[in-house]
Amino acid sequence: MTALPAPGPEADRDLPLDAHLHTNLSPDSDVPIDAYCAAAVERGIPEIAITDHVDFDPRDQAYSFATFAERERQVRDAAARWADRGLRVRFGVEVTYESRFDAEIREHLARHPYDYAIGSVHVAASSPYLASRVASWVAGRSFDEVVTPYFGEVEAAIRSELFDTLGHLDYVKKYLVDHVPPSAFAARPDVYEPLLRALVESGTALEVNASGLRQPPGETYPAAPIVARFRALGGRRVTAGSDAHRVHSFAYGLGHVYATIAASGLDAPRLVPRHPGR
Ligand SMILES: [Zn+2]
Ligand SMILES: [Zn+2]
């Protein structure tokens, strides 16, 4: 396989889409939407999706941070302002999936007209992967026992058929990096098989998320061999996102992500209209 390009402004430009971005209507971002729009025009990226957080656990910061109406107005207004610069701005969402909130999430998505919905498993207030408890929790557990809480929820998120895209499939690598290195995940591709089969069977797109390239794992979520395996199993739909929370992270690593996708034999990422009934 040819070498994948290193992240940077030379490689991360003239690409069709950045499908995962957080503005200052997410509690962990400070970016005004127009800063992303200007960066997209400057980089030659003609389509972006704004995917601010929606959480359903009242203990999570995004639970009551911004209303649907505020988020929709911000994105639709920006889309109108930037349309004549050749930029398409899509109104998306990144929902934190927890199976115990499945019914609430289902109702939210049924009632709110997003262009695009990412479902992601995060490390919630009750998670064993929180920095304050991960070391003692990992000790004495097998690899399978360690990854099951995360991967089990990811499989439930996919099987819910609520989402267009499953976000950062193995983001748990970030929280485990000091205890279970990315090489341990690479050595166990079998644990990904149920997730990849669920994606293919449900028609849910796989996101190749660049944020791991700027975080300690130093590789995409998921890594290139998992993207290739998705293709081999019959997967076709992929999206690509920088998951920027700061303006300097806009499109960061996207050149690497698009090269990973092309090397696996998949077509370039694109947003498709929401699945009927989702
Ligand atoms: Zn996320
Ligand atoms: Zn995100």
Q: How far away, in angstroms, is 105 Cα from ligand 1 center?
A: 16
- The secondary structure of the chain, three-state, reads CCCCCCCCCCCCCCCCCEEEECCCCCCCCCCCHHHHHHHHHHHCCCEEEEEEEECCCCCCHHHHCCCHHHHHHHHHHHHHHHHHHCCEEEEEEEEECCHHHHHHHHHHHHHCCCCEEEEECCCCCCCCCCCCCHHHHHCCCCHHHHHHHHHHHHHHHHHCCCCCEECCCCCHHHHHCCCCCHHHHHCCHHHHHHHHHHHHHHCCEEEEECHHHHCCCCCCECCHHHHHHHHHCCCCCEEEECCECCHHHCCCCHHHHHHHHHHCCCCCCCCCCCCCCC
- Cross-strand partners of 208: 240
Give the closest ligand to the alpha carbon of residue 28: 2
Question: CA–CA separation, 88 vs 40, rounded Å?
Answer: 10
Question: CA–CA separation, 75 vs 93, rounded Å?
Answer: 11
Instruction: Given CATH 3.30.1300.10, say whether it is the number of domain 18-263.
Output: no
Task: At 48, give phi and psi (nearest 5°).
Answer: -135, 150
Question: CA–CA separation, 263 vs 268, rounded Å?
Answer: 11
Q: How far away, in angstroms, is 209 Cα from ligand 1 center?
A: 9
Q: How far away, in angstroms, is 60 Cα from ligand 2 center?
A: 14
Comparing C-alpha atoms, which of 33, 43, 176, 42 is closest to residue 91?
A: 33
**Cis peptide upstream of residue 222 (ω within 30 degrees of 0):** yes
Q: How far away, in angstroms, is 84 Cα from ligand 1 center?
A: 31
Sequence letter at residue 48: I
Q: How far away, in angstroms, is 31 Cα from ligand 2 center?
A: 13
Give the closest ligand to the alpha carbon of residue 27: 2
Give the closest ligand to the alpha carbon of residue 50: 2
Residue ranges of domains in the chain: 18-263
Sequence letter at residue 198: A
> pLDDT in tens for each of the 278 residues of the chain?
568 899 999 999 999 999 999 999 999 999 999 999 999 999 999 999 999 999 999 998 889 899 999 999 999 999 999 999 999 999 999 999 999 999 999 999 999 999 999 999 999 878 999 999 999 999 999 999 999 999 999 999 999 999 999 999 999 999 999 999 999 999 999 999 999 999 999 999 999 999 999 999 999 999 999 999 999 999 999 999 999 999 999 999 999 999 999 999 999 998 876 665 45
Sequence letter at residue 267: D
